Amino acid sequence: MNRHTSVATSLVSRRVPLEPLEAEAALTPEARKSALRVQINTFVEQHLADPNLSPQTIADAHHISLRHLQQLLAEDDTSPAAWIRHRRLERCRLDLANPRRNARPIQAIAERWGFTNPTHFSRLFRAVYEKPPRDYRNLPPKACANRQQPCAE
């Protein structure tokens, strides 16, 4: 974590009691950008289950343009939609690998993380993890132990 990111994260997490304009002036442009990224990351993680979460809703919630959001994420070689999809798939993958969730239907896990179309979810999951969700769920624990397959941490 660089100096600007840690300052920005510190200010965001402590909720420094400065007036908004004072706080804005106290940060460098790089620190402001880092603080915004922290806020956006937190917002997305908190709203992954909402099927209406979209790049536009993220931008609106942070009072920035969609283009600005796209530029922020382009720095990480991703787009807002791809990032949302990746985070949702990862949450589904973790739930599928969790033995305590074996009784929960795969469709319910997908819906829990914002996927409303089971066919679309299954295709995306297979494309990323090279196995359909059902097969992934049924992987033996040894497949995870030797890290040949991506498994829950």
Q: Are 44 and 57 in contact (CB under 8 A)?
A: no
pLDDT at 116 over 60: yes
pLDDT in tens, 13-57: 555 555 555 666 677 888 888 889 999 999 999 999 999 999 999
- Count CB neighbours of 89 within 10 A: 20
Q: 3-state DSSP: the chain helix, strand, coil percent, rounded to 5?
A: 70, 0, 30
Q: Tokens 């985070």 sit at which residue?
A: 87
- Read off the pLDDT band of 144 (50, 70, 90): low
The DSSP call for residue 21 is H
Question: What is the model's pTM?
Answer: 0.74
Coil, strand or helix at 56:
helix
